[in-house]
Amino acid sequence: MKYEFTIIVPIYNEEDNINRLDKELTEYLKIATKKTCVLFINDGSKDDSQILLEQICANNSNFSYLLFDKNYGLTAAIKAGFDEAKTELVGYIDADLQTSPLDFNLLLEYTPKYDLVTGIRTNRKDSGLKKLSSTLANKIRRSFTNDGVEDTGCPLKVIKTNYAKQIPIFKGLHRFLPAMILLQNGKIKQVPVQHFPRIAGKTKFGFWNRSLGPLADCFAYLWMKHKYINYKVDKRSY
């Protein structure tokens, strides 16, 4: 079976969301505009997430998983998904389902012309503190990257896989995906998507790693930008 699109779902202690993920992703696969598979990346969960993942993957041939030996963090989970993907397009969604997989179809409309399509969360259903820290983080990041992206933290993205695989891994990578695509001379598009409250599980991020923490990552990005080499092959003998 030839797939065209891989959805990456990082998992860390999300046992209360696994059955919802199973249901919503299965429903999406029925109406997906591309032949789609789902890859769960279990980032060393300490709860029963792995047991549940193995059950839903056994019952759905379009689902598979990758289990880390320990917790490495969101950046590593996303990059592992990029590296494992064998499809032309790769997507990413958070396990908390505050964004809907149904909106992948909105993003996929723009993939013929753009190399990364990212959501902008409209009518966000988060606390005031979470929205404030997110706004601050976006302002800090934009001042360093000049990528023009309004909501880089939106956990709903589609990327051409050949671009995703060339992104070097570093802590905080997930905040800089649009900027890293621009470094490759790629084109990006922002699309409004739905947003929902978290109804199960606990958030893994606090004020520090949503706002002040990313400041250090911005300096890592500037170093990466300064050292980045973007080459193009003109001719091959094979």
Closest CA to 149 of 176, 115, 130, 185: 176
117 pLDDT exceeds 70? Answer: yes
pTM of the model: 0.85
**Rg from Cα positions in the chain:** 17
For the sheet with 156-160, list strands across it. 63-67, 36-42, 5-11, 89-93, 156-160, 116-121, 188-193
Q: Which pLDDT score, from 0 to 100, does residue 229 have?
A: 78
Q: Which pLDDT score, from 0 to 100, does residue 26 have?
A: 98
If you average pLDDT over residues 184-191, what whole number do you get?
95
The dotted CATH code for 5-126+151-200 is 3.90.550.10
Q: Which pLDDT score, from 0 to 100, does residue 125 have?
A: 62
- pLDDT mean across residues, the chain: 87
Segment 68-82, tens digit of pLDDT: 999 999 999 999 999
Can you say whether residue 161 is alpha, beta or left, with left for phi > 0 and alpha for psi between -120 and 50 degrees?
alpha
Closest CA to 68 of 90, 86, 53: 53
How is residue 116 written in tokens?
């990364």
How distant, in Å, are the alpha carbons of 35, 80, 84, 228 from that of 123?
Answer: 30, 31, 34, 36
pLDDT band at 227 (very low <50, low <70, confident <90, very high): confident
- The residues, any chain, with a CB within 8 Å of residue 152's CB and separated by 6 or more, are 118, 138, 141, 175, 176, 177, 178
150 pLDDT exceeds 60? Answer: yes
Segment 31-57, tens digit of pLDDT: 999 999 999 999 999 999 999 999 999
If you average pLDDT over residues 19-28, what whole number do you get?
97
Closest CA to 95 of 6, 198, 190, 195: 198
How many residues belong to the chain?
238
- The residues, any chain, with a CB within 8 Å of residue 148's CB and separated by 6 or more, are 142
If you average pLDDT over residues 127-140, what whole number do you get?
63
